[in-house]
Amino acid sequence: MSFTAPITLPSSDPSGERGSPGQTPGPFPWVGLIALAAAVFLSVTSEMLPTGLLPDMSRALGVSEAQVGLLVSWFAFTVVLTSTSLAHLTRRLPRHGLIVLVLVVLAISNVLTAIAPNYAFMVGGRILGGMAHGLFWAVVGAYAAHLVPREQIGRAVAITVSGGTLAFVFGVPLATAAGHLLGWRLSFVALAGLMLVGAVVVWRFLPRVSHYGARRTPAERAALADAAPATAATPAEPRRDPTMPAVILLSAITALTMVGHYTFYTYIAPFLIDGLGVDGAAVAPLLFAYGIAGAVGLVLSGTVFGPRPQLGLVVGITVSALSVTVLALFASTLPVAITAFVLWGLAFGTLPPLLQTRLLRTASRRIRDTASAIYTTAFNAGIGGGALLGAALLNTVGMDAVPVTYIGILVLALVLVIVSDAVTRRRSA
């Protein structure tokens, strides 16, 4: 995931129920949402930690940095391939206990990564983590909305996904610094320990919720059948919805943008060390600066560009491409390169929330859940595809080709953004 992970809001329960059916809304569940945000923080840190420790892990395992970068691909593609089926298989399980279980499995995945004697063993550990991560997001996306009344969903979701932002600001840089100081294996062990602590925190402080897939008594099912509107029996047909082509185009833009970003960002540690010539110990502070800039971009996406997501997308993609251009051309001039690196973080930080905002405004209400599912798949496929493309470039052409490829892909994404806007305007005319 990136600064803002894709969130899929739950479909409405025919009974109108949310977290506590029929009850008067109580105090805002700050403690529960903070516990949920902490779980998101740990999950995203686990996903992205290899990007900061590529050189260390490469030397220890005796494989190329490109192969270590592919651990991100294994993780992301596992999310894409398993999240939907796992969500379906576990749809009747209590959500609260499922989040706790997923955090425990993520802890096991990190332990397996830490003790891996070889690359193949580590891939297995990351695949296990990817399965847990995909199920985690399938549950968390709806959980925050179950905790609050409808009018507070936006606030609850914002608090939850802030954990992903903080993972880039603090989690990955601090874990990277710990890896350089104590060894990368201990960094993964420490993260596993924090996962277990997080599981205890979630178990203790996250309120339990009822959800639509839960098992119900015959009396409850009869009551729901009586309460359900007549139209509920007629499912929506997404393929016939006039907004579906625009949703697919926007999801393609999302996938393309993520491919471009993770082609470069996955291998940012070796680029900073070999391209800019910085010391390995400086990677963590630079990632911290990048993460802080991304958090600022996240704020800008909601305050400055929130009412104008199309303009924000054009500006964000353009500035991202220009920043990486400057970074590549002036890699030997450290002050200029670092400034461009931080500006890249700022610009890219605006893109995931703006893409999702544009998606929710584009999709009609009846296909919004379907659109969110397509978007989430595109997002994770882009992460995995980008890491895979970056590895191929490193193995065949070299690091110099990676930022150039990034720029080319983002230019193509910019063209598609402009085309999609023209199509939308023509349909509304």
Domain end, chosen from 159, 192, 210, is at 210
Residue 339 belongs to some domain of the structure: yes
Angle subtended at Cα 75 by Cα 73 and Cα 81, rounded to the nearest 5 degrees: 95
What is residue 271's predicted lDDT score, i.e. its pLDDT? 94
Q: Note down pLDDT in tens along the chain; length 429 residues.
A: 445 455 544 444 433 334 443 344 568 889 999 999 999 999 999 988 888 888 889 999 999 888 998 998 898 899 888 887 888 788 888 889 999 999 999 999 999 999 999 999 999 999 999 999 988 887 886 687 778 886 777 677 778 878 888 888 888 888 988 998 889 999 999 999 999 999 999 999 999 877 545 554 454 444 434 434 433 334 445 557 788 888 899 999 999 999 999 999 999 999 999 999 998 888 989 999 998 998 898 888 878 887 788 899 999 999 999 999 999 999 999 999 999 999 999 999 889 888 877 887 787 777 766 777 788 788 889 999 999 999 999 989 999 999 999 999 999 999 999 988 776 666 665
Residue 271 belongs to some domain of the structure: yes
User: Nearest CA to 398 among 275, 291, 276, 288?
Assistant: 275
Which value, to the nearest 10 degrees, does the dihedral of the CA atoms of residues 84, 88, 93, 99 take? 0
* Domain hosting residue 144, numbered range: 29-210
Residue 85 belongs to some domain of the structure: yes
- Distance (Å, whole) CA 107 – CA 103: 6
Residue 217 belongs to some domain of the structure: no
The pair of three-digit structure tokens given for residue 407, joined into one six-digit string: 């720029």
Residues 6 or more apart whose CB falls under 8 angstroms from that of 344 comprise 290, 293, 320, 323, 324, 327
The answer on 369 and 318 residing in a single domain is yes
- Distance (Å, whole) CA 386 – CA 391: 9
The answer on 247 and 171 residing in a single domain is no
The pair of three-digit structure tokens given for residue 385, joined into one six-digit string: 């595809």
User: Nearest CA to 302 among 341, 349, 266?
Assistant: 349
The answer on 392 and 341 residing in a single domain is yes
Residue 228 belongs to some domain of the structure: no
- Distance (Å, whole) CA 282 – CA 91: 45
The answer on 168 and 91 residing in a single domain is yes
The answer on 120 and 248 residing in a single domain is no
DSSP assignments along 66-116, one per residue: HHHHHHHHHHHHHHHHHHHHHHHHTTTS-HHHHHHHHHHHHHHHHHHHHH-
Domain end, chosen from 210, 230, 257, is at 210
Residue 327 belongs to some domain of the structure: yes
Domain end, chosen from 157, 192, 210, is at 210
The answer on 185 and 287 residing in a single domain is no
CATH number for the domain harbouring residue 203: 1.20.1250.20
The answer on 181 and 77 residing in a single domain is yes
pTM for this prediction: 0.77
The answer on 247 and 205 residing in a single domain is no
Contact criterion met (CB below 8 Å) for 410 and 275? no
Task: Specify the number of domains making up the chain.
Answer: 2
Chain mean position to CA 390? 19
The answer on 95 and 46 residing in a single domain is yes
The answer on 326 and 276 residing in a single domain is yes
Residue 13 belongs to some domain of the structure: no
What number of other Cβ atoms are within 10 A of residue 124's Cβ? 15
What is residue 148's predicted lDDT score, i.e. its pLDDT? 80
The answer on 264 and 162 residing in a single domain is no
Residue 286 belongs to some domain of the structure: yes
The answer on 350 and 279 residing in a single domain is yes
Q: Is 364 exposed, middle or buried (0-12, 13-18, 19+ CB in 10 A)?
A: middle
